[in-house]
Amino acid sequence: MKKTSVINSELSTVIANMGHMDWLSIGDAGMPVPLGTKKIDLALSKDLPSFQQVLTNILTELEVQKIYLADEIQTQNPQQLVAIKNVLPNVAIEYMPHSELKHNISKTHAFVRTGEMTPFSNIILESGVTF
C-alpha cells in the first residue's frame, strides 16, 4: 500500500506523470469541466473535502512554481485567497478573468473536484522541478 499522502490512485497517477510546467487544476463543486478534460471527483457532500484540504494534500507531492487564479477571488472570496497564499507563500500568482480560467482548465492534465461551496475556489497549479 502507498505510504505517502496522496492515496487516491487516479490523482497519484496524474501527479506522477506531470513534468515541468504541466498544469493540474483543483476546483469547487460547481466548476464546469470541459469535455475531454480528465475529472477526478473527490466531492462527497457540501464542503467535504474542502478546497484547502485537497490543495494541502496535493502539495505534499507536487512541486508548484506558479498558480493561476480568477481575478474575482480577490473581491468575492478574499478569505480563500489568504488561505491559498498561506500554503503557497513564495509562489508566483497570475490572475485572469474567471471565464479565462474556466477555458484554461481544458489545458490541464486533470481537474480535481472538491466539495467546496464558496465562490471562485478554483486554481491551476503549474508544476515546478525539485532540482
Per the annotation, binding residues for substrate are: 28, 98, 120-122
How would you label 22-38 residue by residue, b for 16+ Cβ within 10 Å and e otherwise? bbbbbbbbebebeeeee
20 is catalytic: yes
Q: With the C-alpha atoms ordered 106, 29, 12, 127, is the resulting torsion angle positive or negative? A: positive
Among candidate residues 5, 7, 9, 20, the one labeled active-site is 20
Residue holding cell 477526478? 40
Query: Which residues are annotated binding-site positions?
Result: 28, 98, 120-122
The residues facing 125 across adjacent strands are 24, 67
- Enzyme catalytic residues: 20
